[in-house]
Amino acid sequence: MSIEKDIQQNSFKSPYSKAVINIFYTNNWLTSLQMEIFKPFDLTPQQYNVLRILRGQYPEPITVIAIIERMLDKMSNASRLVDKLLAKDLVIRKVCPNDRRAVDVIITQKGLDLLAELDVLQQKWEEQLYGLTECEANQLSCLLDKLRNSEPSNELEELTKKITNN
């Protein structure tokens, strides 16, 4: 039992606090890296997230409310996010014929091309950065599920199963 280990133990109130702080810290770390990747493409992580949701649905349209449901983070302003994507010609938007309150959003070819470019970068990023084996990555997911008292493949799975290429 090394001194370092003692110090480590003592500086956190409990293994739970330590894990929670570590999740916050790792989340910030991952987000910063992602932003670096997206910056040259003038895309925020949220915009990227929406584009991927749209790709998962392509060539079917998807309404704004359905986008909100599938977004990982609670919500910024989906309307405004779509506005931003529209301004860059990455999506098209039109009134839904079945329900004229709703708005159909579809990713454009330009949007698909951009995602294809980013896929390559994301892939490289993964390969370079991860110090985990595949098995450990799975373990990590299981522990996070358990932390949330959630059966593996519950809400998270539902959220993502319609998003291709995650």
Q: Can you give the binding site for a second copy, defined by CB under 8 A?
A: 4, 7-8, 11-32, 72-74, 126, 129-132, 134-141, 143-150, 152-153, 155-157, 159-161, 165-166
Closest distance to a second copy from the beta carbon of 102 (Å): 26
Euclidean distance between the first and final Cα of the chain, in Å?
41
Nearer to DNA, 12 or 92 (CB): 92
Nearer to a second copy, 72 or 95 (CB): 72
Q: What are phi and psi of 164, to 5 degrees?
A: -70, 160
**Binding-site partner at residue 8 among DNA, a second copy, none, CB < 5 to 8 Å by type:** a second copy
**Binding-site partner at residue 76 among DNA, a second copy, none, CB < 5 to 8 Å by type:** DNA
Cα 49 to chain center, whole Å? 5
Structure tokens at 104: 């159909």
Closest distance to a second copy from the beta carbon of 43 (Å): 16
Closest distance to DNA from the beta carbon of 22 (Å): 19
Report in angstroms the alpha-carbon separations of 102 from 64, 65, 66, 94, 166.
7, 8, 10, 9, 27
Round to whole Å and give the CA distance between 125 and 119: 10
Residues that bind DNA (CB under 7 A): 44, 46, 63-66, 73-84, 93, 96, 99-103
Nearer to a second copy, 21 or 95 (CB): 21
Round to whole Å and give the CA distance between 136 and 140: 6
Unique residue bearing structure tokens 């449901």: 69
Q: What are phi and psi of 154, to 5 degrees?
A: -85, -115
